[in-house]
């Protein structure tokens, strides 16, 4: 029994040492072939050079009127435009009301995130801290606060009862179908809410997206959506604080605005309140992603990674050296694994250096083109989304190289493998521009190019309606999902290559 155990342990040691020697041997092959080393350098140069070329021709006019930019409590660029019928609240208290209707006065389609409900706010200054419980036509009852936080309720119908209660810095939202049985939607903390706040009724509505799509071009616009909300059963606690209602159009002062109040009105008659408004109370994400923008140059550097991955195996087939490799290590799967480790590690390391250099070199260029504060906070390499985009670019290149190794093993022909992989990665992007957005998005999600979604750093908020343009790298809301698709393709290619290696002659 003791002898058997010793032999088993010894065999494990030999196997481990043997694979380590295989990896060293494959590394020696790689660094000994000058054109492969130059190819890796070319990948880095192409990635950095193309990235700089892209950013040098980019620009934005978002910051041309910084006085018109509204910033929320967390420093996020926000929309804070709505009709507000309010009165002061000193200390703790609350408000109850029933939303009886929410309609577009012109009978047109309403935005899914049109809102009507109750709100407590530090004041009427746009961007100040708040909490609101509301009904929406497309997403039911919600409790939202400080622009970025969103909690879903249970009710999906209008009319419906709402209640908002403040206790210190805590604000709790409630919903009820009849005004008697109440259900808690959620509780939020507002540390910056002053003792004297404004509480009342509100309504607003973002625009409705209109997309026109032709081959190679997509135009996205928003049509104005004005809504009218009616409330009754309004009650404020404590009653002794009752004060006259004031109607205010909360909105920033913008160049070219006039004093017209056609879109913003608030009236009261016999206990029924009617509010008319438009806008939104939500984050205002910018369309551009200045961190991701330079990394789109990886599509050119990727071509060198594909060629290196394929040639790392097909060159041995062409010269007959593969027989020597398999003779030295009859377990062919381990040879393939060693090659995958070497090409993946070298590509990742080189790609990471290129991505870091590109990040530091491109950001000053982008800031000089308008991609700077306040609309675009200066990014730092230590921020998790930025680190993910930088390291993810290198990971994308490494997976592409290993995927190419697998395809090269399957086809054993350099030209066909390289052309096929480039087509698989590039052609879907071209085809996508000719498809409807939903079809194009799903196509991009199911192809290896989905791995590029890991470069996204722009925050997507579910409470903000947006249009996802797949040609702009918008495939997945979760960046890691896309790299998972590419990893799956790589695993399948290596698995099929291993299966074929065991069943056919070298």
User: Cα 217 from chain centroid?
Assistant: 22
Cα 370 versus chain centre, distance = 22
For every residue of 24-66, DSSP letters joined together read: HHHHHHHHH-HHHHHHHHHHHHHHHHHHHHHHHT----GGG-G
pLDDT digits (tens, 9 = 90+) for 315-329: 888 887 877 777 777
Q: Which domains does the chain have, with CATH numbers?
A: 20-60+288-501 (no CATH), 70-283 (2.60.120)
The whole-angstrom separation of Cα 233 and Cα 231 is 7
Reply yes or no on whether the pLDDT at 11 is more than 50. Answer: no
- pLDDT value at position 262? 63
The lowest-confidence range among 9-18, 152-161, 336-345, 415-424 is 9-18
DSSP run (H or E) holding 170: strand 170-176
Output the pLDDT for position 8.
31
Is cis: bond before 202, omega within 30 of 0?
no
Q: Is the pLDDT of residue 24 over 70?
A: yes
**Is the pLDDT assigned to residue 223 strictly greater than 80?**
no
What confidence tens digit (pLDDT) does each residue in 253-309 have? 754 444 455 688 899 999 999 999 999 999 987 778 889 999 988 999 999 999 999
The per-residue pLDDT for range 431-480, each reduced to its tens digit, is 877 777 778 888 888 899 889 989 988 888 888 887 777 766 677 777 88
Per residue in 89-109, pLDDT (tens digit) is 999 999 999 999 999 887 777
Q: What is the pLDDT of residue 362?
A: 93
Q: With pLDDT > 70 as the criterion, what percentage of the chain qualifies? A: 89
Mean pLDDT, the chain, integer: 86
Name beta bridge partners: 132: 119, 144
Distance CA 97, CA 175 (A): 10
What is the pLDDT averaged over residues 399-409? 96
Measured distance CA(410)–CA(500) in Å, rounded: 7
Closest CA relative to residue 437, chosen from 393, 485, 470, 459: 470
Specify the DSSP element, H or E, that contains 479: helix 479-501
Which residue(s) pair with 143 in the sheet? 133, 151
Position 373 confidence tier, pLDDT thresholds 50, 70, 90: confident
Query: Using CA atoms, how far apart are residues 506 and 494, in angstroms rounded to an integer?
Result: 17
What pLDDT shows up at residue 66?
57
pLDDT at 17 over 50: no
Alpha-carbon distance of 432 to 422, in angstroms, equals 16
pLDDT of residue 2: 41
Reported as a pLDDT band with limits 50, 70 and 90, residue 61 is low
5 pLDDT more than 50: no
Q: Sorting pLDDT into bands at 50, 70 and 90, what band is 7?
A: very low
């Amino acid at each position: 029994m003791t002898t058997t155990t010793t032999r088993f342990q010894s065999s494990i040691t030999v196997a481990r040492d043997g694979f380590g020697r295989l990896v060293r041997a494959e590394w020696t092959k790689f660094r000994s072939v000058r054109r492969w080393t130059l190819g890796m350098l070319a990948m880095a140069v192409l990635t950095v050079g193309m990235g700089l070329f892209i950013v040098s021709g980019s620009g934005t006019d978002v910051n041309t009127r910084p006085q018109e930019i509204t910033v929320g409590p967390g420093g996020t660029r926000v929309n804070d435009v709505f009709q507000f019928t309010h009165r002061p609240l000193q200390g703790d208290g609350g408000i109850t009301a029933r939303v009886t209707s929410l309609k577009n006065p012109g009978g047109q389609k309403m935005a899914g995130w049109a809102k009507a409900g109750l709100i407590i706010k530090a004041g009427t200054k746009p961007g100040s801290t708040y909490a609101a419980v509301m009904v929406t036509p497309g997403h039911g009852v919600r409790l939202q606060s400080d622009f970025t936080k969103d909690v879903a309720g249970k009710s999906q119908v209008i009319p419906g009862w709402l209640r908002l209660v403040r206790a210190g810095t805590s604000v709790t939202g409630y919903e009820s179908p009849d005004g008697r049985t109440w259900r808690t939607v959620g509780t939020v903390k507002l540390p910056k809410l002053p003792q004297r706040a404004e509480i009342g009724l509100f309504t607003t509505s973002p625009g409705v997206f209109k997309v026109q799509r032709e081959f190679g071009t997509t135009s996205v616009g928003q049509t104005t959506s004005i809504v009218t909300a009616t409330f009754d059963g309004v009650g404020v606690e404590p009653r002794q604080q009752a004060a006259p209602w004031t109607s205010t159009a909360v909105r920033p002062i913008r160049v070219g605005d006039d004093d017209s109040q056609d879109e913003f009105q608030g009236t009261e008659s016999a206990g029924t309140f009617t509010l008319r408004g438009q806008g939104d109370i939500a984050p205002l994400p910018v369309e551009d992603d200045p961190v991701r923008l330079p990394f789109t140059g990886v599509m050119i550097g990727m071509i060198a990674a594909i060629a290196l991955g394929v040639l790392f195996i097909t060159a041995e087939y062409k010269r007959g050296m593969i027989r020597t490799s398999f003779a030295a290590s009859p377990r062919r799967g381990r040879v393939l694994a060693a090659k995958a480790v070497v090409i993946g590690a070298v590509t990742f390391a080189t790609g990471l250096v290129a991505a870091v250099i590109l990040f530091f070199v491109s950001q000053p260029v982008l800031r000089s083109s308008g991609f700077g504060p306040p609309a675009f906070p200066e990014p730092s390499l230590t921020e998790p989304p930025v680190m993910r985009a930088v390291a993810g670019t290198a990971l994308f290149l490494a997976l592409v190289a290993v995927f190419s190794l697998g395809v090269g093993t399957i086809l054993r022909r350099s030209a066909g493998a390289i052309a096929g992989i480039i087509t698989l990665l590039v052609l879907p992007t071209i085809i996508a521009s000719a498809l409807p957005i939903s079809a194009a998005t799903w196509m991009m999600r199911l192809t290896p190019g989905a791995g590029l979604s890991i470069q996204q750093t722009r925050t997507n908020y579910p409470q903000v309606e947006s249009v996802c343009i797949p040609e702009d790298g918008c495939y997945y809301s979760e960046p890691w999902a896309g790299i998972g698709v590419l990893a799956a393709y790589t695993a399948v290619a290596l698995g099929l290559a291993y299966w074929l290696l065991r069943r056919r002659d070298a």
